[in-house]
Amino acid sequence: MKTDDLIHMLATQAGPVPKGLFTRSVLPAAALALGFSALMTWLVFGWVPVGLLSMAGMQLKLAYVAILAFAGGLLLFRLGRPGLSTRAQQWAVFVLPLGMMIYGAIGYLLTPEDQKATALWGHSYLSCPWTITALSVPGLMAAFWAASQMAPTRIRVTGAACGFFAGALGATGYAFACSEVAAPFVALWYTLGISLVTALGALLAPRFIRW
Over 60: is that where the pLDDT of 98 sits?
yes
The 10s digit of each residue's pLDDT in 152-209 is 889 999 999 999 999 999 999 999 999 999 999 999 999 999 999 999 999 999 999 8
The 10s digit of each residue's pLDDT in 113-157 is 999 999 999 999 999 999 999 999 999 999 999 998 888 889 999
> Does residue 68 contact residue 97 with C-beta atoms inside 8 Å?
yes
What pLDDT, on a 0 to 100 scale, did the predictor assign at position 12? 46
> Does residue 148 contact residue 183 with C-beta atoms inside 8 Å?
no
For Cα atoms 121, 160, 62, give the angle at the middle one, nearest 5 degrees: 45
CB atoms within 10 A of CB 192: 17
* pTM across the whole model: 0.87
**pLDDT band at residue 211 under the 50/70/90 scheme:** low
Cα 107 from Cα 104, distance rounded (Å): 5
Among the ranges given (13-17, 87-91, 124-128), the one the predictor scored with the smallest mean pLDDT:
13-17
Over 50: is that where the pLDDT of 20 sits?
yes
Which residues neighbour 165 within 8 Å (Cβ) at sequence distance 6 or greater? 29, 30, 33, 69, 72, 73, 75, 76, 139, 143
Q: Which of 167, 148, 168, 173 is nearest to 158 (CA)?
A: 148
Phi/psi region, residue 17 (left: phi>0; alpha: psi -120 to 50; beta: rest), is beta
For residue 153, count CB atoms less than 10 angstroms from its CB and return exposed for 0-12, middle for 13-18, buried for 19 or more: exposed
**pLDDT band at residue 21 under the 50/70/90 scheme:** low
